[in-house]
Amino acid sequence: MPKSILPKTIRSKILLSTAAITAVITILTVSVCYSLFQSFLKRNQLQSAEYSLQVLSGSVGSSVESILGLNQWCCSSLDIGRYLESFRNQKQMPSISSDSSSLRITALNAYERLKEEYHNTSSHEYLSKVIISPLNRRNYLQISDTSSASTPQAVDHFQQAGFFQPLLDAPGYQWQIVDDPLSPASKERVIPLLRPVRSPYGSQVVGWCYLAVSERIFLELLDVFPLEEDASLYIHLGEHTYHQENGHLQESALEYQILSDISKQAFNTESRARRIRLADGSKRTMITCPLGPDGWSVSQILSEKAYQTQIHAYLLLIVVIALTLCLIGLALYALLNQIINRPVQKILEKITSISQGDFSRDPSIEWQDEFGLIGQGINQMSENVVSLMDKKIEDEKQKKDLEYQILQSQINPHFLYNTLNSIKWMATIQNATDIAEMTTALARLMKNVSKGTTALITLKEELDLVKDYFLIQQYRYGGNIAMEYQIQDPQLYQCRIHRFTLQPIIENAMFHGIEPKGCAGTIVIHAEKKTEEDLRRFLVISVTDNGVGMSKETIDKVLKGDSQASADFFRHVGISNVNKRIQYDFGQDYGISIDSCPGEYTAMKIRLPFHPLEQEA
């Protein structure tokens, strides 16, 4: 039988599959990326050039628009019309001493109005000359951007220029760029605007208006225009095409053959984009945008060198993408290989750990396949063993809890309470009142202890407990300790407070404040209601003693629960524990704060929410 060309081992199959998939994905990705990048580059280059041309068009258009406005004003101004009507038969300007002073005033008014309108034109810096002349060619008005003015002979010579009469007779504007005939020495080129001026009293032509627009209106913008080395820019004025050369705009013939229209790639619908073939046979992209008035446009032949440079950069990026895909293919091979080998290895490791006594569940071996079923069975077996061991431990724990409960029940609090009541009546019968009072106070304390320590009680009930506790301690200290109660409002007696909140604070005041002082002391309990700015009401209870005081370090230890414990029952319910209970039930805005001056006093303030029992329905 012929041998199969397909690999037999799983590792070889994974390698072959991964290599084939990686190759297909890489070829498709590189092809798509190259096509998209090339299209993107062409569109981006075209639209970038279009944007630059539109900026140029906007600047030139606004300047030409203001100049055309001046030209239209000259042709329609009544002052200019009166001047031309008055001087069309005058051979020369009347002198000051002549009788024709009204003609001179008319001329001066027209000149002043012309000069005013000239300076109001935002782009007048591009006007090298403005001439208003009657048909007799002598009495003309002139504004020039230079110190030299044109002479009548120069004006006569200007009227002999080949473009003069065609422009004057044309029904509208005719656009072209010519050498300035009135300033031949400057070698400046201008766009001549020449229109007839008609009489304000009829349709008869009484003169003409000439505006010489300097080519600087283009050159200043072209000097800063972003143009690549092999790119070209052409300006079309009517039927004439111009190209910047040696600092001037020279007429040039742009010959090309249109290959395709790609205007859809442009932003503006007025822009035209085409693929063309130039006279040298090279294929380029040309975009044309309108420029200023009708008949003006600007064309840019895009740089091929910049396009190729960007293409090379994107080709490098495509190579990086291809290499990345190959690395991903290698990683995929390693991953697939790991998917097969890893389950077996993990199952073997789990079996080894079970044999060494580790019965914990391992979720990492529960895959969603056949290996996962094996892993689930191993984990289930481990959990069964652990359950048996936990059950044995729980049985031992319950046994110890029963023994502890039996130990607790050996001394029943009710039995102690009844016994203390018997001692009280025996002391009363024997007229031992001190023993009776002390026994009664202790009995009430034991009764409160048997009720638990987590319930909320009223302030009155807590003060009663404190009084019993203080009575017992007062007998211990022989009356050297006094207690004062200052309750601001009887309503405060009904406010809720944790059971055994004040007792640990009173105990702290006696044992750590007054007792080390070695003389009599007083403890003052003060309760008041306070209202904050946000209208929240609080119950503030302060316990103040005139003992030895505390340092800041001691205060921190007391609040943190680091102070040394005592063997007495009540000292196990420490100040730190009380503070934590308050904050646990009411929030961090409540609790205990301590203010103390060593050698003088200690004041512990308890901040609680104000909730009298009568407010609860």
DSSP string spanning 274-319? EEEEETTS-EEEEEEEE-SSTTEEEEEE--HHHHHHHHHHHHHHHH
What pLDDT is attached to residue 91? Answer: 57
pLDDT at position 405: 47
Q: Which CATH code for domain 77-219?
A: 3.30.450
CA distances from 259 to 236, 262, 266, 277 (A): 21, 10, 17, 7
pLDDT for the residue numbered 568: 43
| AA letter at 599 | G
pLDDT at 283: 87
pLDDT given at position 544: 93
Find the helix or strand (DSSP H, E) in which 340 lies.
helix 304-355
Q: Tens digit of pLDDT for each residue in 72-109?
A: 998 888 888 888 888 776 655 554 444 457 778 888 88
Which token pair is 152?
């009548």
Tell me what pLDDT residue 604 has: 92
pLDDT under 50: residue ranges of the chain:
1-2, 95-99, 402-411, 453, 565-573, 615-617
> Residue 278: which of 263, 258, 294 has the closest Cα?
258
Strand partners of residue 545: 523, 602
Three-state SS string across 210-276, please?
EEEEECHHHHHHHCCCCCCCCCEEEEEECCEEEEEECCEEEECCCCEEEEEECHHHCCCCCCEEEEE
Question: What was the pLDDT predicted at 565?
Answer: 46
Residues 452-615: name the CATH superfamily.
Histidine kinase-like ATPase, C-terminal domain (3.30.565.10)
Cα 547–chain centre separation? 58
pLDDT of residue 3: 52
Residue 592 has a pLDDT of 92
Tokens of 611: 């909730």
pLDDT of amino acid 180: 82
pLDDT at 605: 93
pLDDT in tens, 456-496: 888 898 888 888 888 777 777 766 788 899 999 888 899 98
For the chain, give every domain's residue range.
Answer: 77-219, 359-408, 452-615
Fold match between 77-219 and 452-615? no
Do residues 523 and 506 touch, judged by C-beta distance below 8 A? yes
**pLDDT of amino acid 24:** 81
Provide the pLDDT for residue 478: 67
Please state the pTM of the whole predicted model. Answer: 0.48
